[in-house]
Amino acid sequence: MKLRSIAELVGGTLAGDGDAEVFSVASPANAGPSQLIFISDASGAGLAESSDAGCVIRPVDLEISFDGATISVPNPKAAFAKAAAVLHGRKSRPTGIHPSAIVAPDAAIGEKVFIGAFCYVGEGSSIGDGTHIRGGAKIGDNVSVGSGCTIHPNVFIEDGCVVGNRVVLKSGAVIGSRGFGFVRDGDELIKFPQIGTVVIEDDVEVGANTCVDRGALGETRIGEGTKIDNLVQVAHNVSIGKRVVIASQTGISGSVKIGDDCVIGGQVGFADHTEIANGTIIGAKSAIFPGKKLRGGAWGGVPVRPLDEYKRLQAHIRSLPRLKADVDELKKLAGRLGNLVRSDEEE
């Protein structure tokens, strides 16, 4: 991209040759003349000034001594990410269906679709324009996949699921597997019907080896713009709002409702039927017990509690060794006083 195009893309002010081009992004230490870097604050100024990069994105209020071009923006990290999304965009792939792929005769395949080696597209399914289905991916029967999606290798989308536009499903993700639901009848566990669906809205990303189970009788839904990390479990009938961020190894039990714009740390455990308000932040390794309803704000701990309260409790826990030592000392003093009292009584 020409630097003037990058400046226009990120809404920044360019200082330098607008016709100069960069081809990729890099860190300041590793960048060359055809690469773009960024710094967020004054702590990175020295790295930028010693870098061989062709252009640096910097804060508007930070002056640096840099021989190359600069683009000044209010939020350098976000601007850098926008530029990187174009410079390192989705790989261009040829339109067509690989000879080893199996596509049902009644499947509706849009324009400029790529279907790679050993893929499968089932009966009654539809694939939107410009979608890429990479090697080994399986699309079940009566599945709807929107336009501009990237389905990475070995993804499974089971029967009857709905995937919106510009969705990214990373390698090994399983969408629409039967949920984990049983009814106990004496000594027998009977499988409860898992015949619902999964609906993934536009611009969602689902990480590698993440599983999203279909609803039992209704739907499991992931809202527009939500980003889910690798190795996350989303159980049946879960509803996740828009623009939610969920980190790795989080487990979400059945019928949990998560509002819009939430941030969920790694290894968080959600028991069934919990409800999370819009904008809630949950720290890593927290546990939300069944039926719990979290209002907005920051939460953490096991069981989960408001973050300020959790921090106070942790401070008290760290004080326990000192408290134990104080109690032991008091017990010794009490023992000595008791001995003195007994001695006075005997005299």
Q: Can you give the pLDDT at residue 148? A: 97
Q: Can you give the pLDDT at residue 322? A: 87
Specify the pTM: 0.86
Q: One of 88, 236, 273, 316 is an active-site residue; which one?
A: 236
Q: Which 3-state string (H, E, C) describes the chain?
A: CEHHHHHHHHCCEEECCCCCECCEECCCCCCCCCEEEECCCHHHHHHHHCCCCCEEEEECCCCCCCCCEEEEECCHHHHHHHHHHHHCCCCCCCCEECCCCEECCCCEECCCCEECCCCEECCCCEECCCCEECCCCEECCCCEECCCCEECCCCEECCCCEECCCCEECCCCEEEECCCCEEEECCEEEECCCCCEEEECCCCEECCCCEEECCCCCEEEECCCCEECCCCEECCCCEECCCCEECCCCEECCCCEECCCCEECCCCEECCCCEECCCCEECCCCEECCCCEECCCEEECCCCEEHHHHHHHHHHHHCHHHHHHHHHHHHHHHHHHHHHHHHHHHC
Q: Can you give the pLDDT at residue 264? A: 98
Is 88 one of the annotated active-site residues of the chain?
no
Q: Is 18 exposed, middle or buried (0-12, 13-18, 19+ CB in 10 A)?
A: middle
Q: Can you give the pLDDT at residue 18? A: 94
Q: Can you give the pLDDT at residue 321? A: 87
Please give the CATH number for the structural domain made up of 3-87: 3.40.1390.10
Q: Can you give the pLDDT at residue 156? A: 98
Domain boundaries, the chain: 3-87, 96-308
Please give the CATH number for the structural domain made up of 96-308: 2.160.10.10
Q: Mean pLDDT, consecutive 10-residue segments, the chain of 347 residues?
A: 96 95 94 95 91 95 90 96 93 94 98 98 98 98 98 98 98 96 94 96 98 96 98 98 98 97 97 97 96 93 90 83 87 83 68
